[in-house]
């Protein structure tokens, strides 16, 4: 059961091999059995899942089902879900019950996908390890002493351990691609504006984008196609037709020009990861692709510019959490100011406070021009680097992370080291480009992901390129031993 693709599950459901209720219960049972080891879920919605599965079975029986009807899904706990706690893994929203569905959730619910629950994450999506959660760290299914990556680590761990066949995450600076790489699964972040952000609790509004975790590119294509499209409720949503991302999966990639940025292979990259990426590129050569060395000269400026822009937007977005309207409120405040200060001081975790303070400083009088405005100018330079590169190549490839999953607690006292782990992912968000990670091998006995970067709105091409690699390799089929199929 756990090794079936979404298309295979859909065929089995329509053939009557099992019902959606049975399939959903199967995954709920796996969550009950295994999640105490992983801590990948914050909330498990068994009642809603089985009710949704029952409705899906009725649709299948009536012949009105779609490609995803009856297949259960999990959501990162910053997607609002009507009547279900949406906590953002924060004490601040521990008691918040969302009164509506995020657009992505609404579309997939209408497609007939039962919701298994809400997955753990770094608080307000701020982190690269999933250790910054009010509900505790998520464990990597390949090694329970290591991190799964962040901020969407709960979704990645759940899919890796087969507690869910597919899950949604968000990517602000690599938060889908990095955990996908560290857990050995497939994760895609689409072009900024391709998926509605309505109902996604914001971290940095010009960078956030929802995306998909699954075992393979074929599964990602199905779900991404269903959740994409224009949304009048989101002012950053792009009014553009959504192609069938599955249509071109089997197209030949003969003659494809793959750009390899020299800046991605310098000092700081683990030698084992370098070897895995080079071997993956050789596999693409066998498939008929051409490797072209390119330069993205402003890559080294991605981290400093991102860690000005993202915290600045976060300080603005998180100002709404003041203890007045919803969320956490301190006990017995003496006056309004005391309520504001103590509610925010007690409700937010250390990393969130750090980024709010950084962002507030960058936006303050006298520093706006020196920091925020300059960071935005660098952002344009980074975007121009990609524009020039795509005049020479069809796609760009390289590592996702400079290292494999590190031990839990190893970097908690060194936030700068944690930030440096995002060196290869941040620039895509600054430029608004689509990117994905696919399993490409192992280094240090842990999974390694290959990053595929496409031009704007070329998710279909990226998925085709990923799918072709997955037709000749089996890295995406590997499951950690203790989470394998029950006998």
Handedness of CA 89, 93, 94, 100 (dihedral sign): negative
Helix axes 459-472, 217-227, angle to 10 degrees: 160
Q: Which residue out of 10, 19, 20, 76 is catalytically annotated? A: 76
Q: Which residue out of 175, 196, 237, 427 is catalytically annotated? A: 175
- Cα 340 from Cα 317, distance rounded (Å): 15
User: Which tokens go with 369?
Assistant: 């021009």
Say which DSSP state 200 is in: B
- Known catalytic membership, residue 162: no
> How many CB atoms sit inside 10 A of residue 369's CB?
9
If residue 116 lies in a helix (H) or strand (E), which one and from where to where? strand 115-119
Strand, coil or helix: 150: coil
- Cα 109 from Cα 70, distance rounded (Å): 10
Strand order in the sheet with 290-294: 41-44, 115-119, 73-76, 166-170, 210-214, 186-189, 435-443, 446-453, 395-399, 257-261, 290-294
Please check whether residue 402 is in contact with residue 277, taking contact to mean a CB–CB distance below 8 angstroms.
no
Pairing between β-strand 41-44 and β-strand 115-119 as defined by DSSP bridges: antiparallel
Half-sphere exposure of 486 (CA within 13 A, CB side): 8
- Cα 481 from Cα 123, distance rounded (Å): 30
- Cα 53 from Cα 71, distance rounded (Å): 8
Q: Which residue out of 65, 129, 151, 246 is catalytically annotated? A: 151
DSSP per residue, 248-307: TTT---TT-EEEEEGGGGSTTS-HHHHHHHHHHHHHHHHTT-EEEEE--TTGGGHHHHHH
- Cα 448 from Cα 292, distance rounded (Å): 22
- Known catalytic membership, residue 151: yes
How far out from the chain centre does Cα 311 lie? Answer: 19
Say which DSSP state 151 is in: S
Residue 260 bridge partners (DSSP): 293
**Phi first, then psi: what are they for 61, rounded to 5°?**
-65, -35
Q: What is the residue whose two structure tokens read 């298994």? A: 116
User: Which tokens go with 285?
Assistant: 């050569």
User: Which tokens go with 208?
Assistant: 């956030």
Residues with catalytic roles: 76, 151, 175
């Amino acid at each position: 059961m756990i090794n079936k693709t979404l298309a295979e599950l859909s065929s089995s459901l329509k053939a009557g091999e099992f019902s959606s209720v049975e399939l959903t219960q199967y995954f709920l049972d796996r969550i009950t059995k295994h999640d105490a080891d992983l801590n990948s879920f914050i909330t498990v919605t068994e009642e809603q899942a089985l009710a949704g599965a029952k409705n899906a079975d009725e649709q299948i029986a009536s012949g009105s089902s779609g490609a995803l009807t009856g297949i259960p899904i999990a959501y990162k706990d910053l997607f609002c879900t009507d009547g279900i706690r949406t906590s953002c893994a924060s004490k601040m929203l521990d008691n918040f019950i969302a009164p509506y569905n995020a657009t992505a959730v609404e579309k997939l619910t209408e497609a007939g996908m039962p919701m298994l629950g809400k997955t753990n994450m770094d608080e307000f999506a701020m982190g690269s390890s999933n250790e910054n959660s009010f509900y505790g760290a998520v464990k990597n299914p390949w090694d329970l002493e290591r991190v799964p990556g962040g901020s969407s680590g709960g979704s990645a761990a759940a899919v890796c351990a087969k507690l869910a066949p597919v899950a949604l995450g968000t990517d602000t600076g690599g938060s889908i691609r990095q955990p996908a790489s560290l857990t050995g699964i497939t994760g895609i972040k689409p072009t900024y504006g391709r998926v509605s952000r309505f109902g996604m609790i914001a971290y940095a509004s010009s960078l956030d984008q929802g995306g998909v975790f699954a075992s393979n590119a074929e599964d990602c294509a199905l779900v991404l196609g269903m959740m994409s499209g224009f949304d009048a409720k989101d002012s950053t949503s792009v009014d553009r037709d959504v192609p069938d991302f599955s249509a071109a999966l089997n197209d030949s990639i003969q003659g494809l020009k793959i750009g390899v940025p020299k800046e991605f292979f310098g000092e700081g990259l683990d030698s084992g990861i370098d070897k895995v990426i080079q071997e993956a590129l050789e596999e693409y050569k066998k498939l008929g692709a051409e490797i072209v060395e390119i330069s993205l000269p402003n890559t080294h400026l991605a981290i400093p510019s991102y860690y000005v822009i993202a915290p600045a937007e976060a300080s603005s977005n998180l100002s709404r959490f003041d203890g007045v309207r919803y969320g956490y409120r301190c006990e017995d405040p003496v006056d309004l100011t005391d309520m504001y200060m103590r509610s925010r001081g007690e409700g937010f975790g250390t990393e969130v406070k750090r980024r709010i303070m950084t962002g507030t400083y960058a936006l303050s009088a006298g520093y706006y021009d020196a920091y925020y405005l300059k960071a935005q100018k660098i952002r344009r330079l980074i975007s121009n680097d990609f524009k020039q590169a795509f005049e020479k190549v069809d796609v760009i490839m390289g590592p996702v992370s400079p290292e494999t999953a590190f031990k839990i607690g190893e970097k908690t006292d060194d936030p700068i080291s944690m930030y440096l782990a995002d060196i290869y992912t941040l620039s895509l968000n600054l430029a608004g480009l689509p990117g994905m990670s696919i399993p490409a091998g192992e280094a240090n006995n842990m999974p390694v992901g290959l990053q595929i970067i496409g031009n704007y709105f070329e998710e279909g091409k990226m998925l085709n390129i990923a799918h072709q690699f997955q037709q000749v390799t089996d890295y995406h089929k590997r499951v950690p031993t203790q989470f394998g199929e029950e006998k």
